[in-house]
Amino acid sequence: MATGGVERIFTDILDRAKALDPVNTRKWFDNLRLLDFTGGSLEIGCPDESCVYFLNKNCRGSFTRASQQITGHLVTVQFSVDGHIKRDSDGRSQEYELSLHPDYTFENFVVGPSNRLAHASCVAVSQSPGSTYNPLFIYGNSGLGKTHLLHAVCCEMKSRCAGGAVIQLLSCEDFINRFIRAIEVGDVLGFQSQFRSADALVIDDVQFLREREQSQEEFFHTFNALYNNGRQIILSADSPPSEIPSLEERLISRFNWGLVARIDPPSYETRVAIVQKKAHLRGLSINDDVAEYIARKVHANIRELEGALTTIYAVAMTSGNEINLELARVALEDQLESANRHISITDIIDVVTRHYNVRLADLQSKKRSKSIAEPRQICMYLARNLTKHSLEEIGGHLGGRDHTTVMHACSKIGRVRTGDAAMHATLDELARRVTQGTRG
């Protein structure tokens, strides 16, 4: 077993693994223990199953690389539950698969006006499954916390139900794939009994049921069986039930039986709080000015907010500098530049037409009055500078103009920009809106 020297090597490996993979670094990494390190095999003890799951899914590569870099040898890494860190309440093994993300708890979820209803309904459901809102349907754009909330409900239900409630949590794609597999191996009955006997069925991203007629049929019967027995059903999707394309009417109506709660993009204050929370989870402390800077830079998507924090963290780790506003600025500049690569001409046209209050049809028309021609040229100028499209492509989006027209527009706007401070400011502001996805 571990001697002092091996323990030190393990600490080095852990530090290296964190440096190699800041995205997945978690505060609880410090609770990991060395279980065994013999014969080129490193066994790492984790507090519980969900941590093992998280590490296996996200961190195996970085731990393997870290071990090899530190020891200079080929090492295989294995994660297992260490009874000494934390024991399951009654030590029973769970007869069903429930892989919860250890960070996705209510405690780690920041509540604000944008998600208050969704959060409150999830808390209510976790306290008395099957009797408050059934089904509970959470929807919102990608990266706004639906999966996080679903895991949090399951985690809470699991901890409240000492007798071991059977909770089935899976993505819609998983549900469909397992159903297809059950058909292939001729075990549809097994599939049905597994899902229809659950105490709670939680399905993430049900919009993937679209155009899956047979799966919709199966899901319909599963839904009925559970509902009629007072079992909890929780669903998430990227849009409300009625807007999921080609979803059967009978499913739409059932999804609307309980509570449908929307999650909106977070406000500035919520974003600041989320950045602070995420930093804390990774064992980082960042000043308010850094959190505020990140929250101002990233608006629409919490996953990207985390991405920004990760980038800053990675730059701090590799440069050995502490995280401050200056470092955050430098780190995010690169990231914002790379975001530019995904800007489309449509984004630009959208921002410009709003700003100048003109219609796309006008920009594409033959009209040459200044009030139309100038926004058109600005679109060309911004598209030239913010996207990788060719002159021909840009001209194509603006009424089929040829490349010399686009070139002329770009050089003209470029000249005006240098000589006219107001135009300079307007162009910067429009570019900012385009790169940050705010239409303003």
Binding site residues, ligand ADP, CB under 6 A: 104, 108-110, 115, 140, 142-148, 274, 277, 302-303, 306
Q: How far is the CB of 168 from ligand ADP (least distance, A)?
A: 18
Is the Cβ of residue 42 or residue 153 nearer to ligand ADP in the bound state? 153
Is the Cβ of residue 9 or residue 23 nearer to ligand ADP in the bound state? 23
Q: Which does 208 bind (CB under 5 to 8 A by kind): Mg ion, ligand ADP, none?
A: none
Q: If we measure between CA atoms, which residue out of 343, 275, 262 comes closest to residue 306?
A: 275
Q: How far is the CB of 309 from Mg ion (least distance, A)?
A: 19
How many residues lie near Mg ion (CB under 5 A)? 2
Is the Cβ of residue 42 or residue 125 nearer to ligand ADP in the bound state? 125
Is the Cβ of residue 137 or residue 191 nearer to Mg ion in the bound state? 137
Q: How far is the CB of 97 from ligand ADP (least distance, A)?
A: 20
Return the residue of 24, 134, 147, 216 that touches Mg ion, per CB under 5 A.
147
Q: Which residues pair with 45 in a beta bridge?
A: 33, 80
Return the range that interacts with Mg ion (CB under 5 A); candidates 75-83, 118-126, 138-146, 181-189. 138-146
CA 209/CA 331 separation, integer angstroms: 40
Q: Which does 277 bind (CB under 5 to 8 A by kind): Mg ion, ligand ADP, none?
A: ligand ADP
Name every residue whose Cβ is closer than 8 Å to that of residue 142 and which is 6 or more positions away in sequence: 238, 301, 303
Q: If we measure between CA atoms, which residue out of 188, 104, 83 comes closest to residue 152?
A: 104
Q: How far is the CB of 205 from Mg ion (least distance, A)?
A: 6
Is the Cβ of residue 306 or residue 362 nearer to ligand ADP in the bound state? 306
CA 303/CA 341 separation, integer angstroms: 18
CA 261/CA 236 separation, integer angstroms: 10
CA 103/CA 361 separation, integer angstroms: 48
Q: How far is the CB of 169 from Mg ion (least distance, A)?
A: 12
Q: If we measure between CA atoms, which residue out of 96, 135, 99, 100 comes closest to residue 231?
A: 135
Q: Which residues pair with 170 in a beta bridge?
A: 203
Per-residue exposure over 242-260, b if at least 16 CB sit within 10 Å of its own CB, e if not: eebeebbeebeebbeebbb
Q: Which does 145 bind (CB under 5 to 8 A by kind): Mg ion, ligand ADP, none?
A: ligand ADP
Q: If we measure between CA atoms, which residue out of 325, 329, 319, 378 comes closest to residue 350?
A: 378
Q: Which does 139 bind (CB under 5 to 8 A by kind): ligand ADP, Mg ion, none?
A: none
Is the Cβ of residue 65 or residue 277 nearer to ligand ADP in the bound state? 277
CA 410/CA 31 separation, integer angstroms: 58
Closest residue to ligand ADP using C-beta atoms: 145
What residues make contact with Mg ion under the rule CB under 5 A?
146-147
